[in-house]
Amino acid sequence: MTGTPNQIEWGQQIKASVAREFDRVANALKTASLRQAGQDLLNTTTAIEILEEARSTVMARQEAGYFIRDWQDLSGQVRELIARDPRHKAMRVARGAT
């Protein structure tokens, strides 16, 4: 990780929290998918794919400042990453939601 020693320490702590949040959301989606079929299951599977792509992108970042600046407050950030994805937006439109 890059940054000052203090930034690196802080960034590593935040990055670990981000990883746990991705795991939490992934587990929730996977659990929900066990009770689904048809289009709902397809939508949840797509959301999991989006989540894993976002996880790869975020966790590949090595700048402490990125985690300090963009990930200190985890409330809803992983969910928002999924919601901003064009595939998720398309699913919402197909369901008739905005």
Task: State the average pLDDT over residues 6-29.
Answer: 97
Burial-class residue 78 by CB neighbours within 10 Å (0-12, 13-18, 19+).
Answer: buried
What is the average pLDDT value for the chain, to the nearest integer? 94
User: In this structure, are residues 32 and 88 in contact, taking their beta carbons and an 8 Å threshold?
Assistant: no
Measure the CA–CA gap between 74 and 83, rounded to whole angstroms. 15
| Whether residue 59 has pLDDT greater than 60 | yes
One-letter identity of residue 9: E
Task: State the average pLDDT over residues 82-91.
Answer: 92
| pTM confidence score | 0.88
Q: In degrees, to the nearest 5, what angle opens at C-alpha 84 toward C-alphas 82 and 85?
A: 70
